[in-house]
Amino acid sequence: MPKLIATTVVHGARRGQSHGGAFLIDLEKQAVFQTIDLNSEAIEWFGDEGGRGLRGIAFDGDTIYIAASNKLMAYSQSFDFIESWQNPFLTNCRSIFVYQRKIYLASCGNDCILAFDLNEKRFDWAMQVKSEHFRFKPLVFDPANPDGPLFINKLHLDTVRCGSGGMYIAGLNTDGLLHFNGKEINMSVELPAGALDARLFRNGVLFNDSHAGVLRYTGDDEGSEDRGMAVPFFTESDHAAHDPNATRMLKRGYARGLCVLSNTVVAGGCTPAGVSLYDLRRNERLMTVTFTRNVRMAVNCIEVWPWGDQ
């Protein structure tokens, strides 16, 4: 089985306390090893989450890139800190993705996507996702120019992925997976409220249904498929519709963090922090590796560890 790497945030952590970290997960041994323990006090402490914890993960050569709320950090394979970079329009970062020598970052606070040039080590492109009356418009701007978008957090962007077909973007309030073709932003797939980590997969879409505590796949593979597998610790009462989002994230069973291992097996994260393997063909959860029973610690991002036993 492959090893995984996951990042976490500790909701409600106070100054001086650990508020997140990075973990290596050995699925074969069902063991977890913490590699980064984040306790810096130089973060924003507003609300339940604020600047706490670590977010998206990406790899380039021998370097691990991990996003915090307002910075991009580089680490060696042995998790020695190398360098970090910040930008005024990178606030409450969620997802990051490497494509063609750039890291794309979803800035939740400013409703925008930023690009970090891996060769020049600087932010060199950005795009605000503007929404009006269920229509979306790309507003490209220079992240080095102070005249960028304000802190609005209207769409709560949490996902960015790129490929030859364009850029795919999603958030809690986008109502679906958006497609940017270089000129326009259009709705690619409509999704239920509370969808996180959405991505095209096989002939459909894979995502975490955070409101229902379920990992879902819906598509058209050898007929119509609709898969829904509850994350561990989930009970229906944990996700009442009237719960505010901040409260809901502290309930057992909140689903966040998603990683594809094969054409049929995927990994998903949850609260309290843990990672489960799901078999889409059999529509069942295969196993769960639990980090903690502390309901305040949640998984943010999961990726396959690319260096085997190293």
Residues 186-199: pLDDT tens digits?
999 999 988 999 99
Domain that holds residue 101: 3-304
Q: Give the predicted TM-score (pTM) of the model.
A: 0.91
309 in any annotated domain? no
41 in any annotated domain? yes
Q: How many domains does the chain have?
A: 1
310 in any annotated domain? no
294 in any annotated domain? yes
Higher local confidence (pLDDT), 295 or 261: 261
User: CB-based burial of residue 269 (10 Å sphere; 0-12 exposed, 13-18 middle, 19+ buried)?
Assistant: buried
Q: Measure the CA–CA gap between 38 and 106, rounded to whole angstroms.
A: 21
78 in any annotated domain? yes
* CATH code: domain of residue 118: 2.120.10.30
10 in any annotated domain? yes
CB 214 within 8 A of CB 207: no
Cβ contacts of 238 within 8 Å, gap of 6 or more: 213, 248, 251, 252, 253, 254
223 in any annotated domain? yes
> Over the stretch 103-119, which tens digit does the pLDDT of each residue have?
999 999 999 999 999 99
State what percent of residues in the chain have pLDDT above 70. 91
> Over the stretch 205-253, which tens digit does the pLDDT of each residue have?
999 998 888 999 998 776 567 889 988 865 555 545 445 555 555 566 7
Residue 253's pLDDT is 72
24 in any annotated domain? yes
* CA triple 273-64-172, angle to 5 deg: 50
> What tokens were used for 211?
């409101």
